[in-house]
Amino acid sequence: MARFLLTRLAAFVLTMFAASIILFIAINVVPGSAARSALGIDATPQAIARFEASRGLDRPLVVQYAEWLRKAVTGDLGTSFQNGVPVGPELLTRIPVTLELALLAFLVANLIAFPLGVMAAARHQGWVDRAFSTLASLLGAVPNFWLATLLVMLFTLWLRWLPPGGYVPLGTDPVANLKLMIMPALSLGLVSSALLLRIMRASMIEVLSRDYIRTAHAKGASEWVTLRRHGLRNATIPYINVAAVEFGFLFGSVVVIEDIFQLPGIGSLVLVGIINRDYPVLMGGALVITLFVLVTNLLVDIAVGFLDPRRAKEGQA
Amino acid sequence: MTTGFNWHRWRLAITGSIIIGIILIAAIFAPWLAPYSPYDLDVAAMLQGPSAAHWLGTDELGRDTLSRLIYAARISMQVAFIAAGVGLVCGTLIGVTAAYFGGLVDLVLMRLMELLFSFPAILLAVVLMASLGTSILNAMIAIGIVFIPGFSRLARAATEVVLREQYVESARAIGMSNTRILFREILPNIIAPLLVEAAVAFSYAILLESALSFLGLGAQPPEPSWGNMLNVGRGFMAQSVMLSLAPGMAIFLTVLGFNFIGDGLRDALDPHMKD
Amino acid sequence: MMENRPHERTDRPPTLSIENLTIEFSRRRVWTPVVRDVSLRIWPGEIVGVIGESGSGKTLTSLAALRLLPRQARIAAGKVRLGETDILSRTDAQMRELRGNRMALIPQDAMQSLNPTMRVGHQVGEPLNLHRGMPLRAAAAAARKFLETVRIREPERRAREFPHQFSGGMQQRAMIAMGLALAPDLLIADEPTTALDVTVQAQVLKLLREIRDNSGTSILFITHDLGVVAELCDWVYVLREGSVVEEGPVRRIFAAPQAEYTRMLLAATPSLHEPRRAGEAA
pLDDT exceeding 90 applies to what percent of chain C?
60
Query: Highest mean pLDDT range out of A209-213, A274-278, A291-295?
Result: A209-213
Q: Give the range with max mean pLDDT: B103-107, C5-9, C237-241.
A: C237-241
pLDDT at B272 over 80: no
CB pairs under 8 A between A and B: 126
Q: What is the mean pLDDT of residues B19-26?
A: 90
Is the CB of B116 less than 8 angstroms away from the CB of A22? yes
Residues 6+ apart with CB under 8 A from C40: C16, C18, C48, C50, C61, C237, C244, C247
- Phi/psi of residue A67, nearest 5 degrees: -60, -45
Lowest mean pLDDT among B2-6, C165-169, C176-180: B2-6
pLDDT surpasses 80 at A35 = no
The answer to whether residue C273 sits within a structural domain is no
Give the model's pLDDT for residue B273: 47
Helix (H) / strand (E) containing C76 = strand C73-82
Summarised one tens digit per residue, pLDDT across range C32-50 is 999 999 999 999 999 999 9
Q: Please give the distance of CA B209 from its chain centroid, rounded to a whole number.
A: 9
User: Which residue type occupies C97?
Assistant: E
Residues C194-200: contacts with CB within 8 Å, 24+ apart? C194/C108, C194/C223, C194/C224, C194/C225, C195/C108, C195/C109, C195/C110, C195/C168, C196/C168, C196/C169, C196/C172, C197/C168, C197/C169, C200/C168, C200/C169, C200/C172
B80-93: average pLDDT: 92
Answer whether the bond into residue A309 is a cis peptide, omega within 30°.
no
CA distance B215 to chain A (A): 7
Query: Distances in Å between the alpha carbon of C97 and those of B156, C101, C131, C217, C240?
Result: 52, 7, 7, 18, 32
Listed residue (A63, A81, A52, A282) closest to B131, CA to CA: A282
Percent of chain C, pLDDT > 70? 95
Number of domains, chain C: 1
CA–CA min distance A263, chain C (Å): 42
User: Chain A residue closest to B254 (CA)?
Assistant: A141
Answer whether A109's CB lies under 8 Å from A185's CB.
Answer: no
Residues 98-117 of B with CB under 8 A from A: 115-116
Residue range B101-130: average pLDDT? Answer: 86
Phi, psi of A125 (to 5 degrees): 70, 5
- Residues in contact with C129: Cβ distance below 8 Å, sequence separation at least 6, in sequence order: C135, C136, C139
Domain extent for C204:
16-267
Give the mean model confidence (pLDDT) for residues A162-170.
Answer: 83
Cβ distance of A146 and B230 shorter than 8 Å? yes
Residue C99 is given by DSSP the state B
Which spans in chain A are helix H? Answer: 2-28, 33-39, 45-54, 61-72, 87-122, 127-140, 144-152, 174-208, 211-218, 223-225, 232-260, 266-275, 279-307, 309-316
| Cβ burial, residue C238 (10 Å; 0-12/13-18/19+) | buried
CB-based contact C242:C21 (threshold 8 Å): no
Nearest to C242 by CA among C67, C89, C82, C32: C32
Q: Where are the alpha helices (DSSP H) in C114-259?
A: 120-132, 136-149, 155-159, 168-180, 198-215, 226-232, 250-255
pLDDT band at residue B42, thresholds of 50, 70 and 90?
A: confident
Q: Flag whether pLDDT at C278 surpasses 70.
A: no
Closest residue of C to A219, CA-based? C100
Q: What's the mean pLDDT in A284-308?
A: 85
- Residues B75 and B206: their CA atoms lie apart, in Å, by 10
Q: Is the pLDDT of residue C66 over 50?
A: yes
Give the CATH number of the domain where residue C261 resides.
Answer: 3.40.50.300
Burial profile A153-166: b = 16 or more Cβ within 10 angstroms, e = fewer: bebbeeeeebebbe
Distance CA C106, CA C171 (A): 11
- pLDDT for A32 equals 62
Neighbour tally for C52: CB within 10 Å: 24
Chain A residues with CB under 8 Å of B248 CB are: 143, 146, 149-150
Chain A positions touching B121 (Cβ under 8 A) are 249, 252
Report the alpha-carbon distance of residue A304 to residue A306 in Å, rounded.
5
Of B124-138, B174-188, C150-164, C209-223, the poorest mean pLDDT is in B174-188
Measured in angstroms, the CA of B248 and the nearest CA of chain A are apart by 6
Residues of A in contact with B122 (CB under 8 A): 249, 252-253, 255-256
Q: Which DSSP symbol is given to A226?
A: I
| 8 A C-beta contact, residue C223 and residue C207 | no
Distance in angstroms (rounded) separating the CA atoms of residues A38 and A79 = 14
Q: What is the pLDDT of residue C131?
A: 94
Q: Which tens digit of pLDDT belongs to each residue from B223-238?
A: 899 999 999 988 888 8
Q: What percent of chain A has pLDDT over 70?
A: 94
Please give the helix or strand (H or E) that residue C75 lies within, else none.
strand C73-82
Strand partners, C243: C240
Decide which of A2 and C112 is more confident.
C112
Percent of chain A past pLDDT 90, that is, above it, reads: 38
What mean pLDDT value characterizes chain B?
A: 84
Q: Look at phi and psi of residue A307 and say left if phi exceeds 0, alpha if psi is from -120 to 50, else beta.
A: alpha
Mutate to test the interface with A, among B122, B127, B148 (most CBs of A within 10 A): B127
Q: What span, in angstroms and rounded, lies between the C-alpha atoms of C218 and C213?
A: 10
Three-state secondary-structure class, residue C223: strand
Query: Is residue C188 within 8 Å of residue C106, measured between CB atoms?
Result: yes
Residue A33's pLDDT is 67
By C-alpha distance, the chain A residue nearest B126 is A274
DSSP code at position C274: P
Contact C15, C47 (CB under 8 A): no
What is the DSSP pairing of strand C16-27 with strand C73-82? antiparallel
Residue C191's nearest CA partner among C146, C232, C250, C132 is C232
Confidence class for position C275, pLDDT limits 50, 70, 90: very low
Cβ–Cβ of A146/B248 closer than 8 Å?
A: yes
Exposure string over A80-117, b if 16+ CB within 10 A, otherwise e: bbbeeeebbebbeebeebbebbbebbbebbbebbbebb
Judge contact between C18 and C78, C-beta under 8 A: yes
Whether B237 sits inside 8 A of A23 (CB atoms) is: no
Q: Which residue has the higher pLDDT, C267 or C112?
A: C112
Q: Domains along chain B?
A: 8-26+58-269 (1.10.3720.10)
Q: How many CB atoms lie within 10 A of CB C19?
A: 14
pLDDT of residue A37: 67
- Put simply, the answer to whether C130 touches A225 (Cβ < 8 Å) is yes
Return d(Cα A76, Cα A89) in angstroms, integer.
Answer: 9
Chain A touched by C187 (CB under 8 Å): no
* Residue C267 to residue C272: CA distance in whole angstroms: 8
CA distance B147 to chain A (A): 14
Section C162-168 average pLDDT: 92
Contacts of C245 (CB under 8 A, 6+ apart): C238, C239, C259, C261, C262
In this complex, the residue of C109, C127, C164 whose CB is nearest that of residue A211 is C109
User: If you average pLDDT over every residue of chain C, what do you get?
Assistant: 89
Neighbouring residues of B191: CB distance < 8 A, sequence distance ≥ 6: none
Q: What is the DSSP string of B186-229?
A: IHHHHHHHHHHHHHHHHHHHHHHHHHHHHTTSSSPTTS--HHHH
Residue C5 inside a domain? The answer is no
**Mutation site for A-interface testing, chosen from C72, C101, C112, C115 by largest number of A Cβ within 10 Å:** C115
**Which residues, in sequence order, are bridge partners of residue C222?**
C50, C190
CB–CB contacts below 8 A, A to C: 74
Mark yes or no for CB contact A149/B248 under 8 Å.
yes
* pLDDT average, residue stretch A11-18: 87
Question: What gap in Å lies between CA B90 and CA B175, rounded to an integer?
Answer: 27
Residue C51 in any domain: the answer is yes
Helix (H, G, I), strand (E, B) or coil at B142: helix
Q: Do A150 and B248 touch (CB under 8 A)?
A: yes
CB B206 within 8 A of CB B252: no
SS3 content of chain B, % helix, strand, coil (to 5): 75, 0, 25
Sheet with C30-42, strands from edge to edge, namely C30-42, C16-27, C73-82, C85-86
Tens digits of residue pLDDT in B49-59:
888 778 888 88
Question: How many CA atoms does the CB half-sphere of C55 hold within 13 Å?
Answer: 1
Put simply, the answer to whether C117 touches A307 (Cβ < 8 Å) is yes
The span from the CA of A249 to the CA of B204, in Å, is: 13
Chain A positions touching C117 (Cβ under 8 A) are 233-234, 237, 307-309
Residue C79 has pLDDT above 80, yes or no: yes
Element (H, E) at B132: helix B121-132
What are the pLDDT digits (tens) for A107-130? 999 999 999 999 999 998 889 999
**Residue C11 counted as domain residue:** no
Average pLDDT score over chain A: 86
Give me the residues of C, 211-250, that contact A with CB < 8 A.
none
pLDDT tens by residue, A245-256? 888 888 889 989
Sign of the Cα torsion C217, C221, C226, C227 reads negative
pTM: 0.85
As a whole number of angstroms, the distance between CA A27 and CA A23 comes to: 6
Give per-residue pLDDT as tens, A58-113. 777 788 888 888 888 887 778 777 777 888 888 899 999 999 999 999 999 999 99
ipTM of this complex: 0.88
Q: Which chains touch C (3 or more CB pairs under 8 A)?
A: A
Q: How far is residue C152 CA from its own chain's centroid?
A: 21
Mean pLDDT, residues C196-212: 88
Residues of C in contact with A220 (CB under 8 A): 96-101, 127, 130-131
pLDDT at position B180 over 80: no
Contact C245, C259 (CB under 8 A): yes
Torsion of CA B126, B20, B248, B73, to 10 degrees: 70
